[in-house]
Chain A
Amino acid sequence: MIVNNLFLTPVFLPILAASIILIAKSFLPVKARRFCEYLGIIIGLLLPIVIVLLLYPEVINNGSLSIIIGSYTPKIGILYNFDSLSLVMIVLTNLLTLPAWIYSRSAGPSHSYFTALLLLQSATIAGISMTCDIFNLFVCLEVMGLVAYVLIASKQEKSAVFAAFNYMMYSSSSMVFFLLGSFGLYRLTGSLTYQEITKTLVTLSAKEQNLALICLLLMIVPILLRVAIMPLSGWLINAHSKAPHAVSALLSGILIKIPLFILIRVFSISPMMQNLTLVLSYIGSATALIGVLLALSQSDAKKLLAYHSISQIGYIVTAWSLALHYGIDTTLGAVLLIAALFHAFSHAIFKGLLFLSIGTATDAAGNRDVYKIRGVNYMLRQKGEKFPLTMICFFFGALSIMAIPPFNGFFSKTLLTYYIKPSINYTILNIASIGTIASFIKLSRIFLPSKEMKKPIKELPTAKFPISIHLSLIILASLALLTGIFAKEILKLLENIFISTNLKSIKYSIFFSKSNILKTLYTGLVGIFLFIIATSKYGSKILHKLRSLKADFTDQYVAFAITIALLSWFLLV
């Protein structure tokens, strides 16, 4: 009956909305098309959030809801399983697509296919988070990837097309490996559903089990490529920096995190995958550090933000892999998972805010070079912005990523670094935080006054700053502030979802304890010191050398092969 299947609506409603937009394009005049786009966004993005939140009590009480689509036999049909992780993913995706879409109404790609593609992306992300079938995962990952390639290339300028081409070649060839892995698994076990594969895998001989582990690894590495941890992140720099601003916000916010949380399900196919989790945590923290170092050396503002995306995803991967290492059923593992989810959520908000505000600023300045632009406020006022809202929103985002209270970055980074305390990852992540502060001080220099500001402003009579840019920036900035102020309540909610016992496990006193505040001050001071070193003559030379390191197309595949070799070594030996 329909009530049992209600959790499938986040997949079908956005596709329905996209088809309504298509019909409006073919049949109706231009004004009605705009109305249908708004209608499509309400049906496709907001209505699924409402439905999923209505299902929240049932998921808490009964565990997960699952169904085989079409009610066929479990041997052949596709199983969809809706649990708490899927709920969080769907709410995250739909909520964060909204500001990017609002921004794009005036400054981004404005043809109506853009809205349809955003809705299709949200539908496939809902599908990925609920599916329990490896071939369905393949199809949904390919759709998600294709939407990303088309969205990056929609800016029509040649560097964006080249970035999309590079990403497409790299990602599609790795999905061929995914298909090969699923071939091996189907041959060995005769089924495509995760649970059936797990059951059959234990009955196989040792040699076949090793083969199955290699196949599972070949399925995992392409998903790790989409997450962009360090050896596999060659595509992200160009893809996120050359895309239109709304698309960059979407890509950094949503598309690099969803595959990571789906890996939890894929990892659960075989218990031998636990061997990989410790290695992945070291790779994650190395990613965080190297990302920040390379970010410090960049001169292009959007490339700097893209390297910061790599670094922050390193934080999330470290917490996630340690959560799997201790086991999600244990309290420590569940708390680490909550930390990873909360940091993913905060990162999506503040990185979206940063991309949109820096995008607006560099559009007004006409130039992206961080060393050259000064006095952006003046240029924004020339474009018609009366109140320096872009600068304020940029500072909200920068203070969040630098982990300054009361913004959400402070709470998520503290939670994350506190619970990974007894390992070397803790030290590396702290060093990465210092680097983050230094590079954001460097980035905010674009708002320093310049000589031009002494001249009077030539008021263009019809210069009107688009309201949708301000609206999207206000939404994201207020979310950054509110999720920081109400962080305790949000964390309590996540605890309810993921930890099944009644013990309250997160010590809320760690946020404002003396040691934490001292640590924040200390990190800030060393960050300022690092910034001063980095802009001195000796530091600039080192950074210039770092900036000129280049990786070409073949190197990406060398990194891919080395990752497979490294992870298979740790898996089988």
Chain B
Amino acid sequence: MNKRRIFKIFLTTFIISFTILPIILSNSSWPTLARDYLFMHAFDETGASNTVSSIYLGYRLIDTLGETLVLFVAITGTMSILLNLHKQVLQGVETQSSLPPEKRAKNALRTNLVEVVASKLGPIILLFGLYVMLYGHKSPGGGFQGGVILASAIVFLALSTVVKTKLTNSNVLSRIESISFLSLILVTTYVVFFPNGFFRNIATNNSFASATMIIILNIMIGLKVGTSLAVMIIAMMGGQHDY
């Protein structure tokens, strides 16, 4: 740490803090227009009583689409950097997601205790994740949150050797991911291009099926996020993936 370096760091920090301190410490009042409008109209226009859900799945749907794309690109990039994606492996490879016994000696953290407990906890967390995903319009939660919990549930199931389920098979997971991505795009396109179409009418006129749009979008986002994260973690754990 020579003097020039310390001087550079000090100069940079000084300029940056001088610039941002007025913004952080400003005392102007926070605007209330948006809050008042949403308090009056959010439930009628989207059918959700969680105003945060009505914003990011109703009014600002494009931002959520962008966020889903960010997740997709990041997971693709992470997998390709970690796993040497450029080799084209032909199909027909069997997938294994749990650790075979011969590797167990090297991997000291994968004890039998972890595997048994994980196998018991997995379905419970799966149920919880589905609950968080489906109830996004009434209580805190929604697509992204529920999707991440779903991913952790699938990882728990993959950690166990006792449970043999198709849910930890990479092929099945990537199929669910691509179908949910396509249906998310189709629903978003429909909602954007036909703003007074099917979903909005149900939400505003029919009290039984209100918030249909939000529930469907939540389910698709949750499935997409959950399955893609799970595919990435299972691939990192050693389950093979066909490319």
- The finding on whether chains A and B are genuine partners in a shared complex, rather than unrelated, reads yes
Complex CA gap A170/B55 in Å reads: 31
User: B193 to A8, Cβ gap below 8 A?
Assistant: yes
User: Chain A 294-314 against B: per-residue CB contact (8 Å), 1 yes, 0 no?
Assistant: 000000000000000000000
B residues in contact with A218, CB < 8 Å:
19-20, 23
User: A558 to B8, Cβ gap below 8 A?
Assistant: yes
User: B26 to A187, Cβ gap below 8 A?
Assistant: yes
Q: A26-B171, A71-B196 in contact; A187/B66 too (CB < 8 A)?
A: no
A180, chain B: closest CB distance, angstroms: 6
B216, chain A: closest CB distance, angstroms: 15
Among listed A47-55, A135-143, A235-243, A352-360, interface-contacting one: A135-143
The answer to whether A202 has its CB under 8 Å from any CB of chain B is: no
12 contacts between A and B (CB under 8 A): A8-B192, A15-B65, A16-B186, A26-B171, A30-B88, A70-B58, A77-B60, A136-B60, A149-B77, A154-B85, A156-B81, A215-B23
The answer to whether A72 has its CB under 8 Å from any CB of chain B is: yes
Extra pairs beyond A140-B66, A188-B28 (7, CB < 8 Å)? A23-B179, A26-B178, A69-B192, A73-B41, A110-B88, A135-B63, A214-B19
User: Chain A 527-570 against B: per-residue CB contact (8 Å), 1 yes, 0 no?
Assistant: 00000000000000000000000000011011011101100100
A residues in contact with B76, CB < 8 Å:
113, 116-117, 150
Complex CA gap A190/B33 in Å reads: 7
Of all chain B residues, the one with the shortest Cβ separation from A177 is B20
B residues in contact with A20, CB < 8 Å:
182
- Which of A26, A187, A215, A558: most chain B Cβ within 10 A? A26
The answer to whether B236 has its CB under 8 Å from any CB of chain A is: no
User: B73 to A78, Cβ gap below 8 A?
Assistant: no
Q: A146-B77, A150-B76, A558-B11 in contact; A12/B192 too (CB < 8 A)?
A: yes
The answer to whether B90 has its CB under 8 Å from any CB of chain A is: yes
User: B81 to A184, Cβ gap below 8 A?
Assistant: no
The answer to whether A147 has its CB under 8 Å from any CB of chain B is: yes
User: A15 to B69, Cβ gap below 8 A?
Assistant: yes
Complex CA gap A71/B20 in Å reads: 36
* Interface residues in A1-46 (C-beta closer than 8 Å to B): 2, 5, 8, 11-12, 15-16, 19-20, 22-23, 25-27, 29-30
Q: How many A-B residue pairs have CB under 8 A?
A: 192
User: A214 to B59, Cβ gap below 8 A?
Assistant: no
Secondary structure call for the A interface: helix
Interface residue count on the B side (C-beta < 8 Å): 67
A residues in contact with B28, CB < 8 Å:
187-188, 208, 211
B residues in contact with A8, CB < 8 Å:
192-193
B residues in contact with A113, CB < 8 Å:
76, 80, 85
User: A143 to B70, Cβ gap below 8 A?
Assistant: yes
Of all chain A residues, the one with the shortest Cβ separation from B183 is A19
User: B45 to A75, Cβ gap below 8 A?
Assistant: no
- Which of B19, B22, B67, B196: most chain A Cβ within 10 A? B19
User: B22 to A211, Cβ gap below 8 A?
Assistant: yes
User: Chain B 138-159 against A: per-residue CB contact (8 Å), 1 yes, 0 no?
Assistant: 0000000000000000000000
Complex CA gap A260/B186 in Å reads: 32
Closest 7 CB pairs of A and B: A190-B31, A150-B77, A139-B66, A71-B195, A561-B15, A22-B178, A561-B12
User: Chain B 149-191 against A: per-residue CB contact (8 Å), 1 yes, 0 no?
Assistant: 0000000000000000000000100110111011001101101
User: B34 to A180, Cβ gap below 8 A?
Assistant: no
User: A136 to B62, Cβ gap below 8 A?
Assistant: yes
Tell which of B55, B62, B70 touches A142, judged by Cβ atoms closer than 8 Å.
Answer: B70
Complex CA gap A73/B189 in Å reads: 19
A residues in contact with B84, CB < 8 Å:
156
A164, chain B: closest CB distance, angstroms: 9
A residues in contact with B80, CB < 8 Å:
111, 113, 150, 153-154
